[in-house]
Amino acid sequence: MSAFLSRHRLPAGFRHIAEQHYLPLAKRLPQMRDGKRQLLLGVNGAQGTGKSTLADFLWLATESMFEWNVAVLSIDDFYYTLAERKVLADEVHPLLKTRGVPGTHDTEMLARYLRRLQQLGEGERIALPRFDKSVDDRADESRWPVINGPVDLVILEGWCVGTVAQSAAELQRPVNALERNEDPDGVWRQYVNDQLKAKYEPIFRKLDALIFIGAPNFDAILRWRLEQEEKLAASAPSGSSGVMNKQQIVRFIQFYERLTRANLAALPEKADFVFRLDDSHAIIS
């Protein structure tokens, strides 16, 4: 636990959160698995809510308590390469050059890896993709972690995991300056919505359970995103082009705003487990 706190730069108080909230969830996973070859768990949370921390904790806990072999996947690691997104920007809409929204992930690659992990047998191994946000591109394969089969638990975490497409009426009104000024005809948000419905929802329907970490509001998410970028800047090599300043982050988060707000409203009812946070990241229910 001490090593876990250090690795994630977490305060000592996180131990209480882990023992009171995350550990009881981990202990329920064998019952949820119920004889299945593998459990597929989704974790949804907006930027800065701690979804990757929860995913890593569940990995540690299930490995320690049940001797499970666990694969943790972030949907962020399946972004299209920078070159591929430039093609999307040219052919569909300029805003698709920016990673984040549905339509900027290689969902065929994600589906293929989920199938492969489900089938991975004794003595077989596979390297899991990683995306380097500091350079805004897929990491070199030499840096991909390798997992051996068989795999008992796959955790898929990401800000849009479990998100459902919006109605045509919901797409009409811009939610922020980005949509109003750079997508006035709605082509970008319609494409994002179409991709979400056609390519992402079929993957999400295969989840055995969905966990939602709910921020108190969108303003808190922006503040946490700024804190997250400060951590990235501190750990990134000097001169990394992928690290953003405050003005860039304020614009960047507007790409996520529409579906993040939709998730805050819809996922508390849709998810199997919900952790509600206050402004200081503490779990209040």
> For 2-276, which CATH class?
alpha beta
d(CA 57, CA 36): 22
Q: Where are the domains of the chain?
A: 2-276
Nearest partner of 267 among 277, 278, 259, judged by Cα: 259
pLDDT tens digit sequence for 68-102: 999 999 999 999 999 999 999 999 999 999 999 99
| Cβ neighbours for 78, distance < 8 A, ≥ 6 positions apart | 105, 106, 107, 109, 110, 113, 129, 131
Is the whole model's pTM more than 0.85, yes or no? yes
pLDDT tens digit sequence for 36-58: 999 999 999 998 898 999 999 99
Mean pLDDT of 101-122: 97
